[in-house]
Amino acid sequence: MKALVAGAGIGGLAAGVALRKTGHEVEIFERSNELREIGAGLMIWPNGVRALEALGVGIKALKVEGVSIRSWRGARLMELPIAEISKRHGSDVVFVHRADLQAALADSFGRDGLRLGADIRRFQDDAAQVAITLRDGTLATGDLLVGADGLRSAVRRQLLGDGDPTFLGSTIWRGTLGAEGIALRPGHGVNWFGNGSEFLAFFLADERIYWAGVTKEPKGEKAGPGGHKQDLLERFEHWVEPVPSLIAATDGRAILRNDMYDRPPVRQWSAGRVTLLGDAAHPMSPNAGQGACQALEDAVALGDSLRRAPDLAGAFELYERRRLRRANRVVAMSRQGSRSVQIENPLLAGIRDGLGRLLPRWVLVRMLDATLAAPRD
Ligand SMILES: Cc1cc2nc3c(=O)[nH]c(=O)nc-3n(C[C@H](O)[C@H](O)[C@H](O)COP(=O)(O)OP(=O)(O)OC[C@H]3O[C@@H](n4cnc5c(N)ncnc54)[C@H](O)[C@@H]3O)c2cc1C
C-alpha cells in the first residue's frame, strides 16, 4: 500500500518512519522548501521517549534530573517528581533541541520519498484511492492519506470542516542562548509562575539554555518598536533572576513569538482513506509539554494499527480507539494548565500557588500518570 503524508513536522516524519516499518511505500509532502530547524527546546516525557524507541530513532538529549516550580519572586512551590515518574514509566524524561529531534526523524526517514515545496491544497477520496492536489497543480495518488499538517491543517479543514483553531488568550515567546554565566544547573529546569504569566528555562544537550515566556496578549499583536526582546524585558523586568538576565543575554533577532491555540476535542479523526495525526488531529496548548509526545504516540499507534487490522477501515478504527480519548484528555489537561497560568488577580494567583505548595506528592504523581499512561492495545 502507498501512504501519502501531509507535512514533515515531528508528527509527519514520525508517521513516515512508522508506516515504512509496516512495509508501506511512503511519500511525505512538505509545504516548506526546506525542513525548518526551529531554535527552541522540547521536553520529551517517557511516553514520547518510548515512542521514539519503538520507531528506532535515537536522539541527542539531556536527561532531566529535576524541574522546580517557583513563584515569579523565586519562592519554591513544588518539585516535579521526575525520578519517580521515570521509574514508574520505564524511561527518562529528556530535554531536546527541537531541530535535533526533527533532524533525527528526517535522517531516519531519509530523503527518498520526502517532497519539499509541496503545498497540499485538497484531496479527493474515492473508493479505489486518494489523490492530493498540490498548489502547482501536481497530482499524487495513494491508498491512504495522513494529515499531519499541523495546527491549520488543510486536510482537516476538508475532512472535518470545523473551522479555525481556538485562540487561548496568551502568547508565547521562545529563545535559546549559551549557558555560560547563567545560574541554572545542567539537567534542571525551572518554571516560574506569575499573575497571568509564566517563564520557564531549561538546559539543552549542547551547553545551551532554552527559555519560554507566556503572557496574556491580544491575538495577532505585533512586536513593539523595540522588538520582541524589549517587549519581553518590560513584561518580566521585575521577575526573580535569572529571568531578566536570560532575556537580556538572548539575541533579539532569534526570539520567536507565537499566539497559543488549541481546538475543542472531536470524536473522529478519520473518514474513508484519510486520517489525521499530531497537531492536525489534536492541537493543544504547550502547558503539559505533550504535543510532540502525543504526535509520536500517534505515529506508533497508526503504524501498529495498520499492521494489525485486516483493512484500512479497521486500522483507522483501531488507531482512533487507541489514541483519540487519550489525546483529547491531554488537550483538556493542557487547557486547564493554560487557564491556571492566566489567573491575573494576585490574590487568586496566591491561592493557586499556595495549593500547589500543599499538593501532596502522590497526587502530582497520579496527575502526571494520567498524561503519560502507556497507550492501551
Ligand atoms: C512554544 C511551544 C512549546 C512546546 N513544547 C513542547 C514540549 O516541551 N513537549 C512536547 O511534546 N510538545 C511541545 N510542544 C508541542 C509540539 O511542538 C507540537 O505539538 C508538535 O511539534 C506538532 O507536530 P506536528 O508535526 O503535528 O505539527 P507541525 O510541527 O506544525 O508540522 C506540520 C508540518 O506540516 C507542514 N504543512 C502545513 N500545511 C501544509 C500543507 N498544506 N501541505 C504540506 N505541508 C504542510 C508545515 O510546514 C509543517 O512542517 C510545544 C509547542 C509550542 C508552540
The domain ranges of the chain are: 2-165+262-372
What is the best residue among 35, 37, 42 to mutate for testing ligand 1's pocket, by most ligand atoms within 8 Å of CB?
42
Residue with cell 532575556: 247
- CA atoms of 209 and 227, how far apart (whole Å): 21
Expressed in angstroms and rounded, the spacing between residue 51 Cα and the centre of ligand 1 is: 17
| Ligand 1 center–CA 280 separation, angstroms | 9
Instruction: Give the three cell numbers for residue 338.
Output: 493554560
| Number of H-type helices and E-type strands within the chain | 11, 18
Q: Which three cell numbers stand for residue 55?
A: 520507531
The answer to whether residue 374 scores a pLDDT higher than 70 is no
Residues near 140 by Cβ (< 8 Å), separated by ≥ 6? 4, 27, 29, 131, 132, 134
Cross-strand partners of 46 = none
Per-residue pLDDT tens digits for 242-272: 999 999 999 999 899 999 999 999 999 999 9
Residue 276, beta-bridge partner list: 147
Out of 70-74, 185-189, 321-325, which region has the weakest mean confidence (pLDDT)?
185-189
Q: What pLDDT, on the 0 to 100 scale, is given for residue 37?
A: 67
Mean predicted confidence (pLDDT) in 290-297: 97
Q: Are 55 and 44 in contact (CB under 8 A)?
A: no
Cis check: omega of the bond before 242, within 30 degrees of 0 = yes
Say what the pLDDT of residue 363 is.
86
Assess whether the C-beta atom of 8 lies below 6 angstroms from ligand 1: yes
Atom of ligand 1 nearest to the CA of 294: 11
Whose alpha carbon is nearest atom 49 of ligand 1?
9
Q: Is the CB of 247 under 6 A from ligand 1?
A: no
Q: SS3 sequence, 235-281?
A: HHCCCCCCHHHHHHCCCHHHCEEEEEEECCCCCCCCECCEEECHHHC
pLDDT category of residue 166 using cuts at 50, 70 and 90: very high
Three-class SS state of 348: helix
Provide the 3-class DSSP secondary structure of residue 50. helix
Measure the CA dihedral 161/7/54/261, to 10°.
-50
Looking at the chain, the whole-number percentage of residues with pLDDT higher than 90 is 80
So what's the pLDDT on residue 368?
87
Do residues 215 and 137 touch, judged by C-beta distance below 8 A? no
> What is the arithmetic mean of pLDDT over 70-87?
93
Which pLDDT value is given to residue 204? 85
What pLDDT was estimated at residue 252?
Answer: 92
pLDDT of residue 375 exceeding 80: no
The Cα 111–Cα 252 span in angstroms is 33
Does ligand 1 lie within 6 Å of residue 303's CB atom? no
What is the model's pLDDT at position 17? 98
CA distance 208 to 187: 11
| Residue 317 clears pLDDT 70, i.e. is over it | yes
The CA distances from residue 22 to 11, 15, 25, 168, 205, in Å, are 17, 11, 9, 38, 32
Residue 158 beta carbon below 6 angstroms from any ligand 1 atom: no
CA-12 nearest atom, ligand 1: 25
Cell numbers representing residue 103 in the block: 533532524
Question: Candidates 4, 10, 285: which one to mutate for ligand 1, based on the most atoms within 8 Å of Cβ?
Answer: 10
- In this predicted structure, the answer to whether residue 39 has a pLDDT above a threshold of 70 is no
Average pLDDT over residues 51-79: 94
Q: What is the pLDDT of residue 214?
A: 96
Q: Which of 56-70, 301-315, 354-368 has the lowest mean pLDDT?
A: 354-368
The C-alpha atoms of residue 295 and residue 335 are separated, in whole angstroms, by 17
Closest Cα to atom 30 of ligand 1:
150
Task: Give the ligand 1 atom nearest the CA of 118.
Answer: 43
More confident site: 181 or 316 = 316
Average pLDDT over residues 199-205: 90
Any ligand 1 atom below 6 A from CB of 291? yes
Separation of CA 131 and ligand 1 centre (Å): 24
Q: Is 295 in the pocket of ligand 1 (CB under 6 A)?
A: yes
Decide whether any atom of ligand 1 lies within 6 Å of the 212 Cβ: yes
**CATH number 3.40.50.720 is the correct assignment for the domain at 2-165+262-372:** no
Q: What is the average pLDDT across 16-30? A: 97
> Which tens digits make up the pLDDT trace of 119-164?
999 999 998 999 999 999 999 999 999 999 999 999 999 999 999 9
Whole-prediction pTM: 0.95
Whole-angstrom CA distances from 225 to 230, 231, 245 are: 8, 9, 21
